[in-house]
Structure 1
Amino acid sequence: MSEWWTYTLSDFLMFSPRTYWRLVELYNRDFWPLHLPLLAAGLAALWLTATRRTHAFRWVAFGLSAIWLWVGWAFLWERYATINWAAQYVALAFAVQAVLLAGMGLMRKHTAASPGPAALGLGGLLAVAGLLYPLWGLAAGRPWEQAETFGMAPEPTAPLTLGLLLLSGRPASRTGRALLFPIPLLCLLLGAATAWTFVN
């Protein structure tokens, strides 16, 4: 029996990259053209956040809450969990994130403080990365049918959410906002770990 330190991430992957991308392709086919209004919603959320209008963050939070709930159910729970048992726990984390976002949207006090230069730069970069995420798949040689888009898949949804949170300044309180960051960050780490196993 091999020692535990000889294992790599790929040893724990219970499916092949081909199986995963086929699952994404079938998922996209089942729900096309829902991708287009969801991408439009992502652009609208970015615009609302950038304009810093009264109650803008409230509506962005509600919209993101619905999207996190949708991705958690439609992709993670209904599809990804059929090839990866751990996805059901990630789906539950997505539901928790949806509740946190909705709770933040319901809070009455939302300050309109502008983000600092670092938050502005990083937030803008993450938001754009989330919207343009499908292009990474094309650059890797995958067809459009296997594209992962905001509002449909976890990996592009997480960076756009983080970007919007950073660009929104300080809604409600720093403590309240801090609760919204761990799950999207964990999502990005899990996605990066899975992508790493696909190429190694």
Structure 2
Amino acid sequence: MSTWWSYRPADFLLFSEEVYWRLFELQNAALWPAQIVALAGGTLILVLALRQRPWSGPIAGVLLAAAWVSVTALFLWQRYQPINWAALYAIPPFLAEAAILLFAFARRESAFAGSRGLRSELGAGLFVYALALHPLLPLATGRPLGQGEIFALAPDPTAIATLGILLLARRCPLISLALPVPLVWCLASWTTLQTIGTFEAWIPFAAALIAIIGAFLSERRRKR
């Protein structure tokens, strides 16, 4: 029994760091040029949030929901669960998140109208990071750029981007209900990446912390 004390968290992990990053490389190669469509969709979401038109919310909600369904089908189910059985337990929450986002932004009045201040700035920063900078992380570690994680195709940037949009959105019960899944995923990803020993572990953790802080900040309305 004393041998149990010698185990580390990494001893229970079913895959290595190399295998984990290889998943994204294989997915990116198989899905090309879907990355262009995903990044274009993400850019459109940000434009909709910042332009603040009455129809911005419904379109952004559909695109965000599609991103979560895409990650569920293309990554969690096809790539991740064959090497990590725990990924199966993430599938129902991911699909639930897609449904919540769809309903949360379905109202005709603008979901983003009039908000500004530190809360919205943090939200925009999170979204821009997830969309434009997160895919470039392999360059910081000497890994191939093909292993980059893309919004709507990989869970971490999708969760971080969603947290950003939720900070940009006008507060309502459904918006609050949409926060837990991306927050929990970021913390779960932090745990996994910390276990395999990569510095990227602190990125989803930092994103979750920023989102929690932003969620408690008050909104200021833009003067008309």
The yes-or-no answer on 1:124 pairing with 2:140 is: no
The yes-or-no answer on 1:146 pairing with 2:144 is: no
Cα separation, partners in 2 of 1:72 and 1:5, compared to 1, 3 Å: farther
Aligned-pair CA distance for 1:25: 1.2
Q: Residue 198 of structure 1 is aligned with which of 165, 174, 196?
A: 196
Please tell me whether the aligned partners of residues 114 and 168 of structure 1 are also in contact (alpha carbons under 8 angstroms).
no
Letter in 1 for 2:138: G
Please tell me whether the aligned partners of residues 50 and 112 of structure 2 are also in contact (alpha carbons under 8 angstroms).
no
Please, which runs of 5 or more residues in structure 2 have no aligned partner? 199-224
Q: Larger relative contact order (C-alpha < 8 A, sep ≥ 6)?
A: 1
How far apart, CA to CA, are the structure 2 residues paired with 1:163 and 1:3? 45
Please tell me whether the aligned partners of residues 77 and 88 of structure 1 are also in contact (alpha carbons under 8 angstroms).
yes
Compare 190-199 and 142-151 and name the one that shifted more.
190-199
Cα separation, partners in 2 of 1:108 and 1:40, compared to 1, 3 Å: closer
**Residue 65 of structure 1 corresponds to which residue in structure 2?**
65
Please tell me whether the aligned partners of residues 53 and 110 of structure 2 are also in contact (alpha carbons under 8 angstroms).
no
The yes-or-no answer on 1:33 pairing with 2:33 is: yes
Please, which runs of 5 or more residues in structure 1 have no aligned partner? none
- For residues 15-164 of structure 1, the aligned pairs below 5 Å read 15-107=15-107, 110=110, 112-131=112-131, 132-164=133-165
Cα separation, partners in 2 of 1:108 and 1:52, compared to 1, 3 Å: closer
Letter in 2 for 1:79: R
Aligned-pair CA distance for 1:110: 4.9
Q: Percent identity?
A: 41
How far apart, CA to CA, are the structure 1 residues paired with 2:68 and 2:153? 9
- For residues 160-175 of structure 1, the aligned pairs below 5 Å read 160-170=161-171, 173=172, 175=173
How far apart, CA to CA, are the structure 2 residues paired with 1:32 and 1:111? 33
How far apart, CA to CA, are the structure 2 residues paired with 1:4 and 1:118? 48
Please tell me whether the aligned partners of residues 52 and 168 of structure 1 are also in contact (alpha carbons under 8 angstroms).
no
Compare 29-38 and 12-21 and name the one that shifted more.
12-21
Cα separation, partners in 2 of 1:190 and 1:111, compared to 1, 3 Å: closer
Aligned-pair CA distance for 1:119: 1.0
The TM-score, its normalising length taken from structure 1, stands at 0.90
Deviation per residue, 1:167-200 (Å, 9 max, x gap) = 1223xx2x22100100011111111112212227
How far apart, CA to CA, are the structure 2 residues paired with 1:112 and 1:45? 11
Superposed CA RMSD: 2.0
Compare 112-121 and 132-141 and name the one that shifted more.
112-121
